[in-house]
Structure 1
């Protein structure tokens, strides 16, 4: 495995009964890139993502992370190795402040959620890290707001902060822009670009235009197979991709 490939899937297949949701997908994610897995509804993106993040075990195929076979590992084992998934559920505690949500995530990273007995110097260090993360995602001025009261886009930013608190080498984002208006999409896109420094990001997205300026590489799935791969110009100009999107009532021409 080339050292610049951080995640490598070979022949990834998942069958449910007689139905093949994902059939023989090969995927290489380059270290330090923002890579999108996209496709029209029913393309198998979510199943593929669930295989890569260990929410499902493949029927066949292998997954390597940093050259190590993680095909049979569970989600918490791969998180400890530095592969962390965000957005599977709204990962925030609505009744806690923004600041405390980030603090809890940092304590989880430390492996100890009972911080009552820690020295004040440890807690001050934690405060500094909380502040840095809030700064990174543009939520400093919202630190005392209850997470449940944030707008949809800012909740997403907080989820990114709690994922960053685990300091993952690779972040897997599940449709981070779903259900957002244009302003929020732009905010989250620039946030993903900012937090991608020094790490690898794989994101699942439905909309091709959302990833156009954000992603270095795009893998397009259709009917559980890789239809095309390359940069935005390459995949958006591919007649098979246009056909797959238009043929399913997806994002017309985008």
Structure 2
């Protein structure tokens, strides 16, 4: 595994009762880059994410992160190593404030998962770090706001803040722009760009203009296999990629 490689898969395969969702995938993610997984619906993108973060176990193949074989490791153990994912559906505590959502995530990183009974002094010790994380995702003015009162785009920003609270070295983003309007897409694109300055990012995203704007490398999946890989100009001009998208009803 090369020194500049942070994550690598070899022969990654997942079968579901005779259906092969992921078929012999070899991925190499370079440290400090934004790498996108794209492809038509059913291409195997989310299954691949679930395999990389151990929410699913592969039928065969190997996953290596920072030189360590993490194949079959428990999801929490993978997260503790610095490989953390966000989900397509926003997952925040709606009745709690932005600050409290972030403080809970900070407690998790320190090994005190969901300790609501901890003293106010202990919780207050996390305020400065929580405020800094809120500022990093553009939520400084919303610290006291219940998460349920945030716009959809700002809820996704809060989810990113709680993910960043775990201090991941590599971040996996599952459709971060899903359901967003134009203004929220622009705000979140800029947020991801800032985050990427100090972390490696692997993302699944259907918005191809976002993929073109953010990604250093793009891997195109179709029917569970790698169809093409390269920068945006390379993959967008590949006839196989054009056929895969047109054939699936995508632009």
**What range is the shorter-chain TM-score in?**
over 0.9
> Equivalent residue for 1:63?
63
Q: Which residue of 2 aligns with 1:73?
A: 73
Pairing 1:158-173 to 2, within 5 Å after superposition: 158-173=158-173
Alignment partner, residue 176 of structure 1: 176
In the alignment, is residue 94 of structure 1 matched against residue 97 of structure 2?
A: no
Residue in 2 aligned with 1:207?
A: 207
Give matches, 1:9-158, under 5 Å: 9-87=9-87, 89-112=89-112, 113-114=114-115, 120=121, 123-158=123-158
Local SS of the residue matching 1:12: strand
Shift of 1:115: 6.9
Q: CA deviation at 1:119?
A: 8.4
The C-alpha deviation readout for 1:166-225, integer Å capped at 9, x for no partner, is 000111111111111111111111101111122111111123222111111110001110
Could you list the runs of 4 or more consecutive aligned residues of structure 1 that deviate by over 6 angstroms after TM superposition? none
TM superposition score normalised by structure 1: 0.94
Q: Is residue 244 from structure 1 mapped to residue 248 from structure 2 by the alignment?
A: no
Counterpart Cα distance in 2 of 1:119 and 1:141: 22
Question: How far apart, CA to CA, are the structure 1 residues paired with 2:185 and 2:88?
Answer: 18
Query: Does the residue aligned with 1:29 lie in a helix, a strand or coil?
Result: strand
The CA RMSD over aligned residues, in Å, is 1.5
Compared CA separation, residues 95 and 118, structure 1 to 2 (3 A): closer
CA contact (8 A) 1:41 1:206 kept: no
